Structure 1
Amino acid sequence: MVLPGVYAPQEDTALLAGALSDESLPPGAAVLDVGTGSGALALAAAGRGGRVTAVDVSWRAVCAARLNAARAGLRIRVRHGNLFTPVRGESFDLVLANPPYVPAPATGRRPRGAARAWDAGHDGRMVLDRICLEVPRLLRPGGVLLLVQSALSDPARTEALLREAGLKAAVTRRRRIAFGPVVRGRERWLRQRGLLSLADYEEELVVVRAELPV
Structure 2
Amino acid sequence: MTTVTLPGVYTPQDDTALLLRHLLHEPLPAQAEVLDVGTGTGAVALAAARLGARVTAVDISWRAAFNAKVNAMLARLPLRVRRGDLLAPVSGRSFDLILSNPPYVPAPAASCPRRGAARAWDAGHDGRLVLDRICEDAPALLRPGGVLLLVQSALSDPEKSLRQLRATALRAEIMEHHPITFGPVLRSRNGWLRACGLIEGEGEGAGADADADVDDDEKEELVIIRAVRLG
CA shift at 1:121, angstroms? Answer: 0.3
CA 1:109–1:34: 2 relative to 1, 3 Å: closer
Q: Which amino acid aligns with 1:60?
A: R
Per the alignment, residue 172 of structure 1 pairs with 175
Per the alignment, residue 84 of structure 1 pairs with 87
How far apart are the structure 1 equivalents of 2:45 and 2:108? Answer: 31
Q: Does 1:7 align with 2:10?
A: yes
Q: Which amino acid aligns with 1:28?
A: Q
Runs of 4+ in 1 over 4 A off after TM superposition: none
CA shift at 1:212, angstroms? Answer: 0.2
CA 1:164–1:109: 2 relative to 1, 3 Å: closer
Q: Which amino acid aligns with 1:49?
A: G
Unaligned runs of 5+ in 1: none
SS in 1 for 2:217: coil
SS in 2 for 1:67: helix
Does structure 2 retain, via aligned residues, the 8 Å contact 1:19–1:173?
no
CA shift at 1:82, angstroms? Answer: 0.4
Superposed CA deviations along residues 139-182 of structure 1, whole A, max 9, x for unmatched, are 00000000000000000000011001110000001211110011
Does structure 2 retain, via aligned residues, the 8 Å contact 1:27–1:48?
no
How far apart are the structure 1 equivalents of 2:83 and 2:103? Answer: 17
- Please give the TM-score of this superposition, normalised by the length of structure 2: 0.90
SS in 1 for 2:98: strand
Q: Does 1:53 align with 2:56?
A: yes
Q: Does 1:120 align with 2:120?
A: no
- Please give the TM-score of this superposition, normalised by the length of structure 1: 0.97
CA shift at 1:128, angstroms? Answer: 0.3
Paired residue for 1:32, among 32, 35, 44? 35
Does structure 2 retain, via aligned residues, the 8 Å contact 1:128–1:158?
yes
Unaligned runs of 5+ in 2: 202-215
Does structure 2 retain, via aligned residues, the 8 Å contact 1:178–1:202?
yes
SS in 2 for 1:190: helix
Q: Which has the larger radius of gyration?
A: 2
Q: Does 1:213 align with 2:223?
A: no
RMSD between superposed Cα atoms in Å: 1.1
CA shift at 1:25, angstroms? Answer: 1.4
Per the alignment, residue 153 of structure 1 pairs with 156
Per the alignment, residue 70 of structure 1 pairs with 73
How far apart are the structure 2 equivalents of 1:104 and 1:172? Answer: 26
Q: Which amino acid aligns with 2:148?
A: L
How far apart are the structure 2 equivalents of 1:47 and 1:40? Answer: 11
CA shift at 1:108, angstroms? Answer: 6.2
Per the alignment, residue 218 of structure 2 pairs with 201
Superposed CA deviations along residues 117-144 of structure 1, whole A, max 9, x for unmatched, are 1000010000000001101110000000
Range with bigger deviation, 33-42 or 200-209: 200-209
SS in 1 for 2:58: strand
Q: Which amino acid aligns with 2:175?
A: T
Identity of aligned residues (%): 61
CA shift at 1:111, angstroms? Answer: 4.2
How far apart are the structure 2 equivalents of 1:29 and 1:108? Answer: 35
CA 1:107–1:145: 2 relative to 1, 3 Å: closer
How far apart are the structure 2 equivalents of 1:77 and 1:118? Answer: 24
Q: Which amino acid aligns with 1:9?
A: P
CA shift at 1:26, angstroms? Answer: 2.6
Q: Which amino acid aligns with 2:225?
A: V
Paired residue for 1:102, among 99, 105, 111? 105
